[in-house]
Chain A
Amino acid sequence: MSINRRQVIAGTAGLAAATALGGKFGIGNALAQDGIPTFTPEEGASLRLLRWVPFVEAEEEAWNANTKAFTEATGVEVRIDQESWEDVRPKAAVAANIGSGPDMVMGWFDDAHQYPDKLLDLTDLGVALGQAHGGWYEGLEGYARRGDQFIALPLCAIGNAICYRQSHMEKAGFSEFPKDTAGFLELCKALKAQGTPAGFPHGKAVGDANNYAHWLLWSHGGQMVDDQGKVTINSPETLAAIEYAKQLYDTFIPGTESWLDINNNRAFMAGQVSLTANGVSLYYAAKNDPAMAEMAEDIRSVTLPIGPIGKSVELHQTSTLSVFNHTKYPEAAKAYLAFMYQADKMNAWIEGASAYCCQPLKAFADNPVWTSNPIHEPYSHASESLRPNGYAGPLGAASAGVMADYVLVDMFAEAVTGQRSAEEAAANAERRANRYYRV
C-alpha cells in the first residue's frame, strides 16, 4: 500500500504544481509539470533534516505543514532536528566528515562548499527549478553551485535592513532617511547629539557583525579577494571603509565592541538605541508584545545606505539545503526537496516566515508578504542585493574560514577601538586572509 502511495507522490506533487501554474505542459515519463524531474522514494525510506532553530513561529509551522503533506503523499517520514543556528555548521560538517547523521541539512552561507564531495549532486533539480520559476537569484545561486553543478539548493536570504525609530529621526531633524553613506553618517551624528544613538555590533556577532562589516567594506568598493582568490583586502578602498567605520563608531552607544548577535535587539527594544540593522524579527518582537505597541508603531525599516560604489550590496544571511551523499535514500531526499519547492508550498512557507526569509527564485517575488506591511519592503530586496561572502573570489574552505575566524569583523573592530591604525588593521586582515587562501 505504501508503495502505491509512494508512486502517487510524483503525481500528487506534479498535479499540485500543475494546478498552481495552469498546466502548460503535459507530464512526461520522468518529468512532472514544468520539466521538474520526479523522484520515487526508496522502499521504506525515511529522512532526517537538520535545520536551524526557527526565528519565526509561523515559518516553522509552514515548513512542518509542507513536510507533513509530503509524508502524507509519499509515506516517507521526515524527522526534523533543530540546532541553534551557530551549531548547524559544525554539526553538518561533522556529519559530512564521518558520513552519518542527518540526510539533509539546512545550512548557512558557503557550508556546502566546505565539503562538496560529500554532497549529493542536485544539478537536475536545481536547473529544472530555476527554469520553472523564473531563475535563481545570482548571489544565492553562487552559494549553491560549484561550476555547473548544484551541490545544494538555495533556500532563502535572511534579509538584513536598518530598523529605526521614525520619531527619533524626525526629532534629529531628518524628514526622510538618508540614502547614501555620507548622509547616514550625518543622521547618526544627529542621533547621538540628541541622546538616542545608533549601534552596530563590532563584537563576535556571527550574523549582525558580519553583515555590518561586509556592508562597510563593499559599499566603499573594498573586497577580501579578487576573482582569482588573491587577497586584495589591503587596498585604498578598504582604508576608506575603515575611516568611515571609525566616524560612525564615534556616534554609537558605548559597548558595541562586545555586542554579540542579541545585544542590538536588546538595546533597541529597551529604547537605548534608536537605529540598528537586523532581520525583521526585531520589528516582530516589538509588534507581538502588547507593552511595546507604541514602539512597534514607530519602527521603520530601510535598506542600508549606498556607498561610493553607487549600488546596494549586502551580505545578508543565506541558507541552502543540501543532501549528504551518505544518505540511504537519495531519491526520497530529492523528492522531498522537489515537493518543498513547489510553488504553493514555497509560497506558503515564505508567507509564514513574515518577511524573514526572502525567496530564492524570482517567480516568488510577488508573494503577498512583501506588500502586506511596509516594514517588509526593504527585506524583499535581500536576494537581489545579496553578494556571497568571500566576494569576488571562489567559495570554499578559504572564504568560510575567513568569515568564521572573524577576519573582517576584527579588522574594523581593531581600527575603530584604536587598537591598530587603519593601515595596520588592513595589513593584519591581509595576513590572516592569506593564510586561508594559501592553497
Chain B
Amino acid sequence: MSSHSIADQPSVQNRPSVLERIVQSRNGLGFLFMLPAAAFLLCFLTYPLGLGVWLGFTDTSIGRPGIFIGLENYIWLWNDSVFWLSVFNTMLYTVVASVLKFGLGLWLALILNEHMPFKNFFRAIILLPWVVPTVLSALAFWWIFDSQFSILSWVLMELGLISGPINFLGEPNNARASVIAANVWRGIPFVAISLLAGLQTIPQSLHEAAALDGATPWQRFRRITLPLLTPIIAVVMTFSVLFTFTDFQLIYVLTRGGPVNATHLMATLSFQRAIPGGQLGEGAAIAVAMIPFLLAAILFSFFGLQRRKWQQGGRD
C-alpha cells in the first residue's frame, strides 16, 4: 500500500523518509530493536552507577545536596585504617570462601555425577542452602555462633572437649572464620549444581577411550574432566566471586561488622557510613572503590581461566 502511494508521488520516489530508511535497513532495524534494552540499561544501570561515582566525589549527606570535593573522600579513605581493614577483610573473605566453595562444590558435583541410589533426591536437597533466604540462614548461624548458646559449643562441652563456650563472633579471627563458614555453606550449592551441569556435558566416550588406554581415574580427571570443565568453572567462579565480594546480609545479621570492625566488608562499611551515618558521599566512595577489585576478579576469570592452551591441557 505505502509503496503505491510513494510511487504516485514522483518527487519523493527516490527519497524515502528517514524512518523508512531506518526500518528498511538491516542495521537500522537492529538498532531500533535494541533501543528498549539500551534505554533500560541506561536508566537502571548506567545512571545509578554514574550517580554513585559522582556522589563519591561530593560531600553529599542525607537531606543535604553536596558539593564537588574532588578526591577528598578517597584521600580520607586512603588514610582510614577502618577502610583498609574492610578491604583486607573483603579480600580474605572472598578468596578463602571462593576457594573453599570451589573445592567443596567441585567435589560434591563429582560425587553427584556418579551413579548412586536416590541421585535425584540428593541433587534436589543439595540446593536447599541456596534456596533458603540468606537472612534466615544467617539468623540460624547467628544462634549457632552465639557466644553463650552456641549448639557447637554445647556439644563440645557435653563431650568434655572444651570447658567454656567458644567465642565464635567475639574474637576477630574466630569471627572471620565463622562468617566465612556460613558463606561457604550457603554458596556451595550454586557451585556444585552448576559444575554438575558442566560435568554432564562431557561425553562419556572420552572417559571410556581413556580408560581403555589405561588412564588412571586421576589422569582422566586431570586430562579430560578439568580441561573440558574449565569454561564452566570460569563462569561459575566469576559469579561466585562477585556474590561473595559484595556480600552484605550475612555480615549484617551476624556481626554488623564487629568485633571492632574485624568482619566489616566494604559493602557493610559503605552502608554503615552512607545510610545510618548519613555520609552518602563517603559511602558511595567506598562502593566505588569496590569496582576495581570486582573488575580485576572478572578479568582474572575471563582471561585467566579461559586461556585456550591451558584448557587443552597444554602449558603457557
Interface residues of A (CB under 8 A from B): 86, 89-90, 93-94, 96-97, 114-118, 202-204, 253-260, 263, 266-267, 270, 272, 397, 400-401, 404-406, 410, 413-414, 417, 419, 428, 432, 435-436, 439
Contacts and interface: CB of A to CB of B under 8 A. Distances in A.
A272 B277 CA distance: 33
Considering the complex of A and B, which 4 residue pairs feature the smallest CB-CB distances, nearest first? A255-B147, A115-B63, A258-B169, A258-B170
14 contacts: A93-B62, A96-B62, A114-B278, A203-B258, A204-B255, A204-B257, A255-B148, A258-B170, A272-B148, A410-B260, A419-B172, A419-B260, A428-B81, A435-B76
B149 A118 contact: no
B179 to A, nearest CB: 11
Contacts of A400: 277-278
A117 B257 CA distance: 32
B307 interface: no
Contacts of B165: 254-255
Given A94-B62, A115-B64, 8 more contacts: A204-B256, A254-B164, A258-B175, A266-B146, A266-B148, A401-B279, A413-B259, A428-B81
B260 A413 contact: yes
Interface string B63-107: 110000000000010001110000000000000000000000000
B67 to A, nearest CB: 11
Interface residues of B, number: 36
B261 interface: yes
A259 B147 CA distance: 8
Contacts of B164: 254
Contacts of B276: 86, 89-90, 404
Main secondary structure of the interface of B (DSSP, over half): loop
- Which of A96, A406, A410, A417 has its CB near the most chain B CB atoms (within 10 A)? A406
A419 to B, nearest CB: 6
A254 B147 contact: yes
Interface in B6-52: none
A50 to B, nearest CB: 15
Interface string B253-287: 00111111100000000001101111100000000
B168 interface: yes
Contacts of B82: 410, 432
B119 to A, nearest CB: 41
B311 interface: no
Contacts of B170: 203, 254-258
A410 B277 CA distance: 15
Nearest to A273: B148
A401 B175 contact: no
A193 B180 CA distance: 35
A397 B278 contact: yes
B259 A257 contact: yes
A263 B260 contact: no
Residue of A115, A255, A397, A414 with highest tally of chain B CB at under 10 A: A255
B283 to A, nearest CB: 11
Contacts of B257: 204
Contact of B146 (A115, A263, A439): A263
A89 B277 CA distance: 9
Nearest to A202: B259
Interface centre among B76, B257, B260 (most CB of A within 10 A): B260
Interface string B169-191: 11110010000000000000000
Contacts of A97: 62-63
Given A203-B259, A204-B258, A401-B279, A255 B64 contact: no
B275 A267 contact: no
B225 interface: no
B134 interface: no
Contacts of B260: 257, 410, 413-414, 417, 419
Interface in B184-216: none
B277 A404 contact: yes
Nearest to A254: B167
B275 A93 contact: yes
B61 interface: yes
Nearest to A91: B275
Interface in B240-256: 255-256
A401 to B, nearest CB: 5
| Most chain A CB within a 10 A radius of its CB, from B59, B64, B76, B255 | B64
